[in-house]
Structures are given as C-alpha cells and as structure tokens.
C-alpha cells in the first residue's frame, strides 16, 4: 500500500526528479513461487509446465469454495515445521514479503515489517490453535507447503490476489526469495518515507498526543 506514494496528477514532477537525480532507490524483495508435483517436478497444465511466479506482496493458500477439511504440511528447508488444517474456522495460510506485510498478512494479525528488513512472513488466518502464530523466516529459507494425504479437497493458490492454480493431494507450493527485486523510487529516503506512511495511511497507534505531533511536523 506504500509503493505508489505520488498522485498520478504529479507524474511529470516525479519523472523530472528521477531524471535529474536526487532520489534514492529501495530494492523491494519479491517471492519466487513454484508449483510442484509429489516427485518435485513442475506441474503440467494443458500440456505445458506452469512457470514460476515472482510476486510482490503475498501468496495465499485457501480452500476456496470447498466445504471440506484440507491439511497443509509446512516444511522449511526440507524439515517439517507444522501442519495447517484448513476448515470452516482456519481459512488460509499466507506467505508475504515485507512489502506485503501491511496487506492481508497484517489484517490476519501478522507484524508490520520494514521493507529493508528482508524476510519471509508466514501468517495463518484464524488458526484453530492459539500457538500457531506468524513466523519470520530468513531469505535463505525455502518453504514447501504440501497438500496432505488426509485432505478431502483441493487447495486454491492465489498470488497477489489472482487465482493461479488448484493443488491436489501430494502437490506442493515452493516459496523462496526471488533473485529479482523490484526497484522503487523513494521521495526522500526509505526511513522517512516508511515512518510517515504508516502514520498517514495506517493511522498507526495514534492517540490525541501523536495527532498533535503529526500536525506540528514532529512525526
């Protein structure tokens, strides 16, 4: 939500600033997502391999329109971490970038992550276990989200809000840091932009005193 910080009416001025210098760039991390069969090969659809996706915000696994229980086995670097049972109460599982941490992940109770702090944010939506909470993983991690053998329905994969594929038993989604970040132009510098944005756009933890500081330019 903080990427397009300039009004489209001011695009000419923004381009001039970019051409003449005086701006800084922030390389926003993206996720590389790959859909795999149980034997590790890429999933084939309509006779063609499904390409990997490089996404900006988050990938979400959820049961879609199916009313049946589905299990997602979560592995990190090949080691079993936990399983997420997707049912009428636990709706889905999110893996987000720092940029995407202020979108669906935040609404599901995940943390706000500064865009320069590279990490993979794994957040459950309405988990049925009170101990199942957001996990921050390093960018070197490889996450595998496998559809469990006890699942009674498919799982829908959505990337940046767009439905991509339905996974069957044994198939899995592999998520890791993309080698291709997104260069974004900052207005002043990344620290000032980010602090100002979470106050202006999120109204983050604002009370009467902080509103006064905002009006007087202290925040």
Q: Please, what are the domains in the chain?
A: 30-179 (2.60.200.30)
Predicted TM-score (pTM) of the model is: 0.83
Cβ atoms < 10 Å from Cβ of 96: 28
Q: What 3-state class would DSSP assign to 212?
A: helix
Chain segment 89-147, per-residue pLDDT in tens = 556 899 999 999 988 999 999 999 988 899 999 999 888 778 889 999 999 999 999 99
Residue 118: helix, strand or coil by DSSP? coil
Cα–Cα distance for residue pair 193/67, rounded to 1 Å: 43
pLDDT at 172: 95
Whether residue 59 contacts residue 162, with contact meaning beta carbons closer than 8 Å, is answered with no
43, exposed or middle or buried, with CB in 10 Å at 0-12, 13-18, 19+? Answer: middle
pLDDT at 187: 62
Look up residue 59 and give its two tokens.
């990938």
For 18-38, give the DSSP string. Answer: HHH---EEEEE--EEEEEE-T
Nearest alpha carbon to residue 71 among 60, 48, 59, 87: 87
């Amino acid at each position: 939500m903080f990427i397009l910080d300039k009004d489209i009416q001011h695009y000419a001025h923004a381009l001039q600033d970019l051409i003449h210098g005086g701006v800084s760039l922030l390389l926003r991390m993206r996720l590389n997502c790959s859909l795999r069969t149980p034997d590790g090969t890429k999933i084939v659809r309509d006779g063609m391999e499904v390409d990997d996706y490089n996404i900006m915000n988050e990938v979400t696994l959820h049961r879609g329109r199916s009313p049946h229980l589905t299990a997602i086995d979560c592995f990190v670097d090949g080691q079993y971490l936990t399983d997420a049972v997707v049912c009428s109460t636990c709706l889905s599982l999110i893996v987000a970038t720092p940029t995407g941490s202020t979108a669906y992940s935040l609404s599901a109770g995940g943390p706000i992550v500064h865009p320069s702090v590279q990490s993979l944010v794994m957040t459950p939506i309405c988990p049925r276990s009170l101990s199942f909470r957001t996990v921050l993983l390093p960018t070197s991690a490889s996450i595998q989200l496998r559809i469990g053998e006890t699942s009674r329905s498919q799982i829908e994969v959505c990337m940046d809000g767009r439905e991509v594929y339905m996974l069957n038993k044994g198939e899995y989604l592999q998520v890791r840091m993309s080698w291709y970040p997104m260069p974004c132009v900052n207005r002043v510098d990344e620290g000032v932009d980010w602090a100002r944005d979470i106050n202006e756009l999120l109204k983050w933890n604002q009370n009467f005193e902080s509103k006064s500081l905002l009006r007087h330019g202290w925040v």
